[in-house]
Chains A and B, each alone.
Chain A
Amino acid sequence: MAIKETYRTCQTTGLRVYKSAEDLIKINAVVAVVFLLVGGIFGIMVALTRWKAVHLLPADWFYLALTAHGINLLVVWIIFFEIAVMYFASAVLLGCRLATPRWAWTGFALMLIGAIITNVAVLQGDSSVMFTSYVPLMAAPSFYVGVILFAVGALIGTFVFFGTLVVAKNENTYEGSVPLVTFGATVAAIIAVFTIASGAIILIPTFLWSIGYVNHIDTLMYRTIWWAFGHSSQQINVAAHISIWYLIAAVTLGAKPLSEKVSRGAFLLYILFLQLASAHHLLVDPGISSEWKIFNTSYAIYLAVLGSMIHGLTVPGSIEAAQRKKGYTNGLFEWLRKAPWGNPAFSGMFISLILFGFLGGISGVVMGVEQINLIIHNTIYVPGHFHATVVAGTTLAFMAVTYLLIPLIFRREIMFPKMAQAQPYVFGLGVTGISLFMMGAGTMGVPRRHWDISQADAVLPYDFPGVANLLMGLNGMSALLAGLGGAMFILVAVGSIFFGKKIVDGAEKPVAEPEDAAVLSKYGSEEHPAVPGTLVLVAVFFITFVLYYYVNWKYLAEVWPLR
């Protein structure tokens, strides 16, 4: 059966954009932003409650808001956006139609219905079980139903992505191998299948337990399998946002990978090893051997960390090579100083890269050391770490790429360009504060998921040091700043999409500088990469990493001996 479908040719990139793919990218991205708004508001309420001087919400509302914050941001916002990214990386980058758009719409509908059902369950107040819903805490059955429906929808979206790769191959819409960004998105999709399967394996029995058909769920089994879902879903994000880093570097600067082989090899390490990370959550649980913990927590022998460290060189390296080719060759850092810092797509991407590496990456490896986890597990250091990865890393990268999608896919000009310019800096600064202050409070033992560390109504109260309260206050202020950055993003994105000036064919505003045309026409690996500035950045990163790693061993050595 021949499938006829209309497409347009993008004036900027020359890519063929099919209507089915365009519509689905739009709707998934828009719904994602709506949930970003919902989850963000809950997040600000959470941070303001933990700020002792404000202590905004009563206890029951606090745990409700924390559950809603986690579900809406860690799952709903990110996965909706990732579906949009996957459709973009397949149908648009390969210039082909989307496979089975009807199934894609079905998946979208299931995700939306699931997200709404779970949100209603949480807002009704009897499902304040946190994002993790650890048994034997029981939520309303509809809470699990919503999550399961959402996961099924996401799985359908993932298979539409795989189907689109097949369509492109069969219809010969590209030659040779898929682009690196599509390759990275494929890695994300493969991890997504593993992730969603793990989620189904644990959440379906939990749902049956909540309606009385299963009488017992083992807590250790729950945590082991749930985290194969919960942690791996964050590894989808890593693969997705690193693909976006490459994408933005390519579109804004014409950057190409220093070496296709190395960058793709690094992505491949993710497929092979990232899934072992469930262990990060089980390092101080009973009944699991140290051998299992060491092997899994280190992704075999830190092979997935190796993948990320490689991208940490190749992403800025590709930017440096592209800039040097344009003539920014003075000194070590002219390429960086003269980078398009006023373009929010670029600045957002670069801030995401730096914060993810220095804050999220290093802290993640350190807290994942079997023994060091003893002084970190379930303290607020943990959310400090993952706000650096998921908010500064993933969310900021998604915001940055939105500034490209608005002209390319929505075909609107960016509204409030000055606000858009400032947005990544405001948001980045706010998240840096959130992350650092929570990590600092965590080293003083402040617990995560806790309504009141002053423990006013406890029989045996314990006083945390005053500095811990100060840090939690600073965290609240940083959350307000990040919230401002988030609001700016939503205003610019929603404003541009619905009210922005329409871009008509032939009059598209080029996203790449005109002189990039020469670079754009060449592709493949970089011929003669010399990236001294990047090597200096990487050396600074490595020294920071090693120092922070051993400082934490020192902290551990001061703790009471235990065996």
Chain B
Amino acid sequence: MSVTPPKNKLWWNEPIPKSELVWVIIAFVWGLIMFFMMIYWHVYGEQNLSNEAYRITAEEFTVKTEAMVEKYQVREESGYPVVRPPPGEDIYMIARLWQWWPILELEKGQSYRLHLSSLDWMHGFSLQPVNINLQIHPDYEMVITITPTTTGEFGIVCNEYCGIGHHTMLGRMYVVDNGGA
């Protein structure tokens, strides 16, 4: 029994039942398939998180973001600047207690280098309803290249607990169709 010492003291010499052996091999091969699936997706898949990240201070990141806002602001909404940078541009979004700042307006089918960092605590970038989720750290600047493929109004929810105002931390992103460029 499983609660008594094995009767056969040389239990490691006992042959493995065939059914178990077959299952072990199937499970092992499945593990290999799943392992190589991740590598395969890096080569052929379109959704891979970049490894590009930099150390940065809250001040430096604020300066970069404000420079972008000043250059490309098109209007204001609920006290937030709405920024429409040209396609291919580096775009920035600040996470702080309890805001995603500013509002970005992007073009469908165009790629942008999105920089994300927190000015204070950890936050969770959760783009809805697309459902892309990223961990945003203070002192680290994450850079990803995104290509919106759907148009409309998108919410950015914070999904890392960041204190009592956590549930009010929401941002917005617009994606517009500019003639299907």
- With an 8 Å Cβ cutoff, the count of chain B residues facing the other chain is 88
Q: Choose from A247, A310, A371, A531 the contact partner of B45 (Cβ within 8 Å).
A: A371
**Min CB–CB distance B148 → chain A (angstroms):** 6
A444 touches B129 (CB 8 A): yes
Contact B49 A525 (CB under 8 A): no
User: Cβ of B1 and Cβ of A520 under 8 Å apart?
Assistant: yes
From A59, A179, A457, A561, B3 is in contact (CB under 8 Å) with A179
Question: Provided the pairs A174-B5, A286-B53 are in contact, do residues A379 and B133 lie with their beta carbons within 8 angstroms?
Answer: yes
Choose, from A33-41, A295-303, A500-508, the stretch at the interface: A295-303
Q: Whole-angstrom distance from the CB of A48 to the nearest CB of chain B? A: 16
B104 at the A interface (CB under 8 A): no
A250 x B79 contact (CB < 8 A): no
Residue A205 CB within 8 A of the other chain: no
Contacting A at CB under 8 A, from B1-33, are 1-9, 11-12, 14, 16-17, 19-20, 23-24, 26-28, 30-32
**A219 CB contacts on chain B under 8 angstroms:** 122, 137-140
Of the listed stretches B59-67, B68-76, B85-93, B152-160, chain A binds: B152-160
Cβ–Cβ contact A377 & B24, under 8 A: no
Q: Which residues of B contact A288 (CB under 8 A)?
A: 51
Counting CB contacts under 8 A, is A455 at the interface? yes
Flag if A535 contacts B19 (CB, 8 Å): yes
Chain A residues 259-276 with CB under 8 Å of chain B are: 259-263
CB atoms of B133 and A377 under 8 A apart: yes
Dominant SS among interface residues on chain B: mixed
**CB neighbors of B among A450-480 (8 A):** 450-453, 455, 457-465
Contacts known (A310-B27, A460-B78, A525-B11); A374 close to B132, Cβ less than 8 A: yes
Query: Given A285-B135, A450-B159, A459-B170, are A302 and B129 also a contact pair (CB < 8 Å)?
Result: no
Check if A258 sits within 8 Å of B20, measured CB to CB.
Answer: yes
Check if A211 is an interface residue, CB within 8 A of chain B: no
Task: Output the nearest chain B residue to A528 by Cβ-Cβ distance.
Answer: B17
Interface string of B106-119 (1 = CB under 8 A from A): 00000000001000
Q: Are A448 and B14 in contact (CB under 8 A)?
A: no
Q: Are B170 and A461 in contact (CB under 8 A)?
A: yes
B49 touches A93 (CB 8 A): no
User: Do A136 and B1 touch across chains, with their CB atoms under 8 A apart?
Assistant: no
B residues within 8 A CB of A538?
23
Q: Does chain A have a CB within 8 A of B150? A: yes
> Do residues A448 and B51 form an inter-chain contact, with CB atoms below 8 A?
no
Q: What chain A residues lie within 8 Å of B3 (beta carbons)? A: 13, 93, 179-181, 246-247, 250-251
Interface check A421, CB cutoff 8 A: no
* A562 in the interface (beta carbon within 8 A): yes
Measured CB to CB, the closest approach of chain A to B62, in angstroms, equals 17
For residue A330, CB closer than 8 A to chain B, the reply is no
The interface residues of chain B lying within 8 Å CB-to-CB of A369 are 34, 37-38
Query: Which of B45, B49, B129, B136 touches A465 (beta carbons < 8 Å)?
Result: B129
**A178 within 8 Å of B (CB atoms):** yes
Give the residues in chain B near A385, CB-CB below 8 Å: none
Given A529-B17, A563-B50, A247-B128 contact (CB < 8 Å): no
B47 in contact with A175 (CB, 8 Å): no
User: Within 8 Å CB of B155, what residues of A?
Assistant: 460-463
In the complex, what residue of chain A is closest to B136 when comparing beta carbons? A286
Q: A63-B161, A445-B128, A553-B37 are in contact. List 4 more A-B contacts (CB 8 A).
A: A179-B2, A290-B49, A448-B159, A523-B4
The 9 closest A-B pairs by CB, nearest first: A462-B155, A302-B31, A524-B7, A447-B159, A286-B142, A286-B53, A561-B46, A246-B2, A378-B159
